[in-house]
């Protein structure tokens, strides 16, 4: 199987079944026998084509007689893949992108459309050096549309970004959200921690001390991930667990554990004498967590509870020294990692997410020990999912106050005027996170 065929199959699965890009791509790469170069190309094609979909459709709409709405879904997908290579990947010769797309059409598209694919992509290749898929006049008169078309984002997202960050920073951030995120890993065993700095493809960071940047994916790194010697974890997620401030012997509640990346990090922090209760309604995610925990010999520190936190909190009177509520959110901070989110999420989704976050935050607040710490975190930048949630809790609960970070927590320049944590790819090489640290003072 070629890299382009694999990318087409993954994009089809994402479009047709609503799969997440990372899981769909990983599943196909596990089945395919591709070398590192082709694995890298397939990954670039999947994420790049997804991220640049709006821009690509503007380009294709001009090149296709009758516009993109006239295209068969499979042909449309093939043309997006081909156009992405021609316009955005300078290392791929135009003729290779065209020829491979025509071949891909013969395999998976409508065979009679081969001449269409060839003609459209050759037209784009001829004009590639002068192509603009945005209207420069919009910079002054319609800045929301300008950012949306130039950087391939829905207008409602660019509107939010301009409101929150101002136009200049919003533009730089919009551009950054089309980049591939770096790969960071965290060792799950002491011997793995000692091994990583010796690998040429690894860069050890000064802080957090658990973070290692993978400069190139190799079989050694891939094998270590499969053997649960380390986990892939964004640098921002690693900072969030450090922000919790868990210490040896602590009892910790991870109220929205998901697949358990932060749970595992917290289990490392609390040590053999500590405990992490992982609450998560999706049992399959807890199964993934337990598999990794057992492989890393961390399972004795983790208790899994397949339930909604609200229900679990009502039926359980246990309290904890540290609680993390990494709440479900609009996920706008993950657009580098899951570019399909920009096309699936809608602004109308946010009120229901806000309501859920409020319930989760209140449920977590009920389980904090006196003097204990409650951390609220979301991977997005909207204010109603961020600081407004925390302000609402503080207004309704006089027994909580914002807490200073632990003494060993140092992230220069990332605390806002409220003392809350904010991370982004521009300043922190991270996904976008907002997090607040609160203390229970009855």
Q: Which residues of 369-389 are buried (b: 16+ CB within 10 A; e: fewer)?
A: eeebbbbbbbbbbbeebbbeb
Round to whole Å and give the CA distance between 135 and 142: 9
Give me the pLDDT at residue 95, please.
94
Residue 14 has pLDDT above 80, yes or no: yes
- The stretch 103-119 carries a mean pLDDT of 83
415 DSSP assignment: B
- By mean pLDDT, which of 26-30, 181-185, 329-333, 408-412 is the weakest? 408-412
- The stretch 251-259 carries a mean pLDDT of 96
Top pLDDT among 200 and 28 is at 28
Residue 332 has pLDDT above 90, yes or no: yes
Question: Six-digit token pair at 201?
Answer: 């493809």
Give me the pLDDT at residue 327, please.
98
pTM for this entry: 0.94
Round to whole Å and give the CA distance between 41 and 15: 20
* Three-state SS at 216: coil
Residue 110 has pLDDT above 70, yes or no: no
Q: What is the pLDDT of residues 292-305, one digit of tens each?
A: 999 999 999 999 99
Give me the pLDDT at residue 36, please.
86
Q: 400, 374 in Cβ contact below 8 A?
A: yes
pLDDT band of 196, cuts 50, 70, 90: confident
Q: What is the pLDDT of residues 115-170, one digit of tens each?
A: 999 999 999 999 988 999 999 999 999 999 999 999 999 999 999 999 999 999 99
Q: What value does the mean pLDDT of the chain take?
A: 94
Highest mean pLDDT, choosing among 29-43, 59-73, 153-167, 401-415 = 153-167
- By mean pLDDT, which of 32-41, 51-60, 106-115 is the weakest? 106-115
Q: What is the pLDDT of residues 378-392, one digit of tens each?
A: 999 999 999 999 999
Round to whole Å and give the CA distance between 351 and 347: 8
376 DSSP assignment: E
State how far the alpha carbon of 274 is from the alpha carbons of 221, 244, 249, 293, in Å: 29, 14, 4, 15
Give me the pLDDT at residue 109, please.
59
Q: 433, 230 in Cβ contact below 8 A?
A: no
Residue 28 has pLDDT above 80, yes or no: yes
Q: 91, 110 in Cβ contact below 8 A?
A: no
- By mean pLDDT, which of 75-84, 187-196, 220-229, 263-272 is the weakest? 187-196
Give me the pLDDT at residue 432, please.
97
């Amino acid at each position: 199987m070629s890299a382009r065929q694999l990318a087409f199959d993954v994009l089809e699965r994402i479009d047709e079944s609503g799969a997440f890009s990372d899981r769909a791509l990983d599943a196909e790469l596990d089945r395919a026998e591709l070398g590192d170069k082709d694995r890298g190309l397939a990954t670039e094609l999947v994420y790049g084509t997804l991220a640049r979909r709006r821009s690509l459709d503007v380009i294709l709409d001009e090149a296709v007689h009758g516009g993109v709405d006239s295209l068969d879904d499979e042909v449309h997908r093939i043309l997006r893949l081909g156009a992405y290579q021609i316009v955005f990947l300078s290392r791929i010769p135009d003729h290779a992108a065209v020829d491979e797309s025509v071949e891909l059409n013969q395999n998976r598209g409508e065979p009679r459309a081969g001449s269409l694919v060839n003609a459209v992509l050759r037209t784009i290749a001829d004009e590639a050096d002068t192509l603009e898929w945005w209207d420069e006049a919009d910079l002054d008169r319609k800045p929301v549309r300008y950012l949306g078309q130039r950087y391939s984002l829905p207008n409602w997202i660019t509107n939010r970004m301009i409101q929150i960050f101002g136009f200049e920073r919003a533009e730089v951030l919009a551009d950054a959200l089309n980049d591939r995120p770096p790969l960071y890993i965290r060792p799950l065993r002491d011997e793995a921690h000692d091994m990583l700095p010796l690998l040429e493809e690894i860069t050890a960071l000064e802080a957090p001390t658990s973070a290692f940047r993978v400069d190139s994916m190799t079989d050694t790194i891939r094998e270590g991930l499969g053997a649960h010697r380390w986990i892939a974890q964004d640098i921002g997620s690693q900072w969030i667990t450090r922000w919790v401030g868990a210490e040896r012997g602590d009892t910790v509640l991870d109220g929205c554990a998901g697949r358990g990346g932060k749970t595992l990090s917290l289990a490392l922090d609390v040590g053999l004498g500590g405990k992490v209760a992982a609450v998560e309604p999706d049992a399959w995610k807890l199964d993934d967590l337990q598999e990794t925990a057992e492989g890393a010999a961390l399972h004795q520190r983790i208790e899994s509870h397949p339930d909604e936190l609200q229900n679990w909190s009502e039926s359980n009177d246990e309290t904890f020294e540290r609680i993390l509520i990494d709440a479900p959110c609009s996920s706008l901070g993950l657009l580098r990692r899951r570019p399909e989110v920009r096309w699936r999420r809608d602004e109308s989704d946010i009120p229901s997410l806000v309501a859920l976050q409020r319930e989760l935050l209140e449920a977590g607040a009920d389980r904090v020990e006196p003097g204990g710490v409650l951390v609220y975190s979301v991977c997005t930048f909207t204010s109603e999912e961020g600081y407004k949630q925390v302000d609402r809790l503080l207004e309704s609960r006089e027994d909580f106050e914002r807490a200073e970070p632990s003494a060993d927590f140092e992230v220069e320049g990332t605390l806002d005027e409220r003392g809350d944590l904010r991370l982004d790819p521009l300043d922190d090489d991270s996904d976008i996170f907002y997090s607040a640290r609160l203390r229970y003072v009855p």
